[in-house]
Chains A and B, each alone.
Chain A
Amino acid sequence: MTVTLRLGHLYSEAMNVYGDRGNVIALQRRSEARGIPLEVHRVGVEEELDLSGLDILLVGGGQDGEQMRVAADLASKGEQVRLAVDAGMPMLAVCGGFQLFGTKYVDEGGAELTGIGVFDMVTRHPGGRTNRCVGNVVLDTPFGEVVGFENHGGRTFLGPGQQPFGTVQHGSGNNTKDHTEGARRLNAIGTYLHGSLLPKNPKVTDFLLNQALQRKTGEQVELERLDDSVELAAHRRAVEVAKRRR
């Protein structure tokens, strides 16, 4: 199979605060380990996004100031992103990127920022820095146990029909109350978790790669199994730490 996967890294300069690069590296290494090259295309603010030429889309988290700039730009790309999600394109939106994938974001002053509505959800910032949700998180997800680290001020509430990414076992999750974490629509995943997310959760990484390959080739794909002992040791250790410290 001579395929090259093309990963779009949206706002790689503006939204890269929490080790988002780790997610790119994990996709790249695990793709290359199967003999499938993976090219990274960086798309910045005011640059054209052409999803028809991409197989996976990634967007990370940014500083508050950057997030405002990005929100305006993302609005112009929203329609295309929504259509691609509905057509089954695999995506991962982390933290700030995840918030902007919702319907709206209400900041501490009550000002509203319109999101692109990939996920049916609203995020509200309760104000202040004191009550941020910070810490290690363990989730139950359709991919099995997922581990990561959250650091967010905003509280996200999913709409009635909106599926979460997972259920919180340890940590705060979307809003500290309903035990949901993240959101999922078809092959698009939104989450607050970094850590980075993909290196320590190879099943999620392989899900994104698998979906990308199936869409690209139009065939059922079974990814070659890899030696994941190092990945799983890091996963287990992170879970241990999450369980021991709140």
Chain B
Amino acid sequence: MDLRFTIAVLAGKAAAVISRRLGRGGTALPGLVATRIASDLVSRLGLQVPRRVLVTGTNGKTTTSQIVASVLNAEGLTYLHNREGSNMVRGFASTLLQQTGPRGKLRHHDVGLFETDEATMPAAVGALAPNVIAFTNILRDQLDRYGEVDTVAQIWREALAEASPDSTLVLNADDPLVASLGSDWKGPTHYFGVDSPALVADVASPGDVRWCSRCGSPLSYEQRYFAHVGKWACSGCGNRRPALDTVVTDLETGLDESTFRIDGETLSIPIAGAYNIYNAAAATAIARVLGVAPGAIADGIERVEPAFGRQELVQLEGRRLRLLLGKNPAGTDQLLTFLASLDGKVTPLRVAVLLNDRFADSRDVSWIWDVNFEVLAARVGTCWAGGERAEDMALRLKYAGWPGATKVVRTPAALLDSLVSDCDEGTDVFVLPTYTAMLDLRAELVRRGAAQPYWERAQ
């Protein structure tokens, strides 16, 4: 073992201790320090895990990984999993370092589960030589950071062209651009998808894939679920949604859970929102490729806990706050479709929408105008606009026809005060924050003793 690697491991572990003492989550710093010293650290540690799974895509990475983790638990397999907010290579390094002894030996885990930022995917594939690479979807997101959907797809194609065909690609067949990754792939593929009219969103968000990747003719849809995701076919050549290896049908959704069928077996998942069905489908596909028994897959799905900020339920002085992370048009439209489906179950709806514009959120707030807030116009009783760009959100909600006098509360503390004073005990409040707005809000909830810090939550 060379000295540089040893120093990197020790320095990274020391950084983790310091970072934790300072009360930070310590998700990025140790990895940053260690990979600065030894750039091959992630490979040297990561390749010690016998089976490695990479999950990438615009939406659903975290929840998909969360479900896979629960399934692995049910199967009795040990795993390591990079935590929230650390889906860049230095984040992998931090996760791996936590499980590494001072001599650079990783504790045994059966599976390594790595959530990967879209733009990090090529580096992650290079460093980890994954057995499974799963793609959830590719949607309009943070144009100021990632660029256009076509740009991201091109980055993925180039990375896959250089990857070893030993990996199995797990692909969302319903997303034409993701599905197209399979046609050039020389190794094995596993396609998942959904056949259920219940998933069709009330109003489709704008799609960014309109043309056949093979012949350039327009795509048409037998069923379009959201954005450009659905049961598609090319109007020109014979290209169409690939045959499904894992297919979800008979979807039914409620406030706290959904039920659906996979290959005839009925499953339930304790996370609401039709959109989470794709995450269940992706997780099932990954588990099947890993050879997990069907019984363990069903058990794992039934026992999964929501990832933090995604359908997370937080009790605040007797009010039930449901945190629903909404960070791009397709994701937020799906949240609104979910809220619209609660008509008659939760009335009147109380909804707070929190908009930040930091780097991790998208500095450009234009995207809120692509979201169909209009679908809730007649259903919302009370609403709040929060976050650092609360005023932009208030204007969006005004033009969407949400009830007048949206309360503008920029800080998390002011928002929580307002929620408590305006809502009776026992009421449900739905809070839709962008990524950093969610972190800010959770920090305030932690300060008030209503939630646990994310790095103390059990994996």
Whether the pair B363, A29 counts as a contact (CB closer than 8 A) is: no
CB distance from A143 to the nearest CB of B (A): 18
Whether the pair A199, B389 counts as a contact (CB closer than 8 A) is: no
- A14→B207 CA distance, assembly (Å): 9
| Most chain A beta-carbon contacts within 10 A, residue among B150, B365, B369, B398 | B369
- A114→B147 CA distance, assembly (Å): 24
Whether the pair B366, A64 counts as a contact (CB closer than 8 A) is: no
Which residue of the partner chain, among A18, A66, A194, A233, contacts B391 with CB atoms under 8 Å? A233
Whether the pair A134, B366 counts as a contact (CB closer than 8 A) is: no
Whether the pair B150, A21 counts as a contact (CB closer than 8 A) is: no
Which residue of the partner chain, among A26, A63, A129, A241, contacts B150 with CB atoms under 8 Å? A63
Please name the residue on chain B nearest to A148 by beta carbon: B366
Per-residue A-contact encoding for B333-344, CB less than 8 Å = 1, 0 else: 000000000000
A78 within 8 A of B: no
Count contacts on B: residues with CB < 8 A to the other chain: 33
B270 within 8 A of A: no
Whether the pair A149, B365 counts as a contact (CB closer than 8 A) is: yes
Q: Which chain B residues (347-372) contact chain A, with CB distance < 8 Å? A: 357, 363-370
- A29→B398 CA distance, assembly (Å): 10
- A136→B150 CA distance, assembly (Å): 24
- A117→B236 CA distance, assembly (Å): 34
Whether the pair A135, B363 counts as a contact (CB closer than 8 A) is: yes
- A76→B132 CA distance, assembly (Å): 48
| Most chain A beta-carbon contacts within 10 A, residue among B140, B210, B392 | B392
B394 within 8 A of A: yes
Q: Given contacts A195-B364, A195-B366, are A237 and B391 in contact (CB under 8 A)?
A: yes
Whether the pair B368, A19 counts as a contact (CB closer than 8 A) is: yes
Which residue of the partner chain, among B151, B370, B406, contacts A21 with CB atoms under 8 Å? B370
Please name the residue on chain B nearest to A240 by beta carbon: B391
Whether the pair A17, B391 counts as a contact (CB closer than 8 A) is: no
Whether the pair B366, A149 counts as a contact (CB closer than 8 A) is: yes
Whether the pair A19, B366 counts as a contact (CB closer than 8 A) is: yes
- A93→B321 CA distance, assembly (Å): 42
Whether the pair B148, A230 counts as a contact (CB closer than 8 A) is: no
List residues of chain B with CB within 8 A of the CB of A151. Answer: 143-144, 364
List residues of chain B with CB within 8 A of the CB of A65. Answer: 150, 211
CB distance from B269 to the nearest CB of A (A): 32
Please name the residue on chain A nearest to B395 by beta carbon: A234
A223 within 8 A of B: no
CB distance from B392 to the nearest CB of A (A): 5
| Most chain B beta-carbon contacts within 10 A, residue among A21, A63, A230 | A230
B455 within 8 A of A: no
A-B contact pairs, 21 of them (CB 8 A): A17-B148, A18-B143, A19-B366, A21-B206, A22-B366, A22-B369, A25-B399, A63-B149, A63-B150, A63-B208, A129-B151, A134-B363, A134-B364, A136-B363, A149-B366, A194-B366, A195-B364, A199-B395, A200-B392, A230-B391, A241-B357
